Amino acid sequence: MLTIALSKGRLAEKAIMLLENAGYDCTAAKDESRKLILEDEKAGLRFIMAKPADVPTYVEYGAADIGFVGKDTLLEEGRDLYEVADLGFGKCRMCVAGPVDLKDGKLDLIPNKRIATKYPNITRAYFEGVKKESVEIIKLNGSIELAPLIGLADCIVDIVESGRTLKENGLDVIETVADISARVVVNRVSMKMKSSEIKPMVEKIKEQVALL
Ligand code: PRP
């Protein structure tokens, strides 16, 4: 039996579709009830429906063998697991964004800048680790674009998909931190102990991704 952690929402639907196309019976996962564990003994699969940010935790601790999760969450959570496939969907960018007049290097001129984000670890790693700059990070839980508009922060670090939210709020991308997409992750012990089930699944997933 393989336990698969799915990120509740759109990513879960796409992951289920991909697994079905790869030849796995995912009828159990399509149950529209509020059950959080969906098991199909015959198919040998058990799905757990987790909050996206918790998927890496379930996989690291072995509560799930495999997880489908965004690279943004993996970078933020920094868990010890194998990242085995890039699914090529859920594509977006992790960006530093802010008022248009901070583009072209002007953001760099602000000392001790305040940065609002849902991703404090990614933000710290980028500014302190990569840019060698000390910053004040303000953790928010959503609508991050509000922060520079209302004077809470100089800029933000957030996901940009279409760019519409930034544009409609008079903001723009200043720097790209990382390219994001959905990934498959595997628990380190499961990879060894259940390799006869996991390796073929990963191969079939990769074959499907190549067809997309
Ligand atoms: C995300 C992200 C941006 C927006 C980017 O927010 O935080 O606000 O989507 O998408 P766009 O570039 O296509 O406009 P989400 O909708 O998850 O809500 P949140 O503000 O609560 O984080």
Give tens-digit pLDDT for 23-81: 999 998 888 889 999 999 988 999 999 999 999 999 999 999 999 999 999 999 999 99
CATH code of 142's domain: 3.40.190.10
Q: What pLDDT, in 10s, does the model give residues 143-169? A: 999 999 999 999 999 999 999 999 999
| Separation CA 114–CA 70 (nearest Å) | 26
What is the extent of the structural domain holding 204? 2-90+181-211
Quick one: 133 and 143 in the same domain? yes
Quick one: 122 and 168 in the same domain? yes
109-131 mean pLDDT = 97
Quick one: 9 and 39 in the same domain? yes
% pLDDT > 70, the chain: 100
Task: Specify whether the CB–CB gap between 53 and 141 falls below 8 A.
Answer: no
Q: How far is the CA of 64 from the centre of ligand 1 (A)?
A: 28
187-209 mean pLDDT = 97
Quick one: 54 and 99 in the same domain? no
Residue 161, ligand 1, Cβ within 6 A = yes
Residue 4, ligand 1, Cβ within 6 A = no
Residue 144, ligand 1, Cβ within 6 A = yes
Quick one: 164 and 102 in the same domain? yes
Residue 142, ligand 1, Cβ within 6 A = yes
Quick one: 86 and 8 in the same domain? yes
- Flag whether pLDDT at 176 surpasses 90: yes
Which atom of ligand 1 lies closest to the CA of 92?
A: 12
DSSP string, 4-66: EEEETTHHHHHHHHHHHHTT---GGGG--SS-SEEEETTTTEEEEEE-GGGHHHHHHTTSSSE
Q: Give the predicted TM-score (pTM) of the model.
A: 0.94
Domains in the chain, number: 2
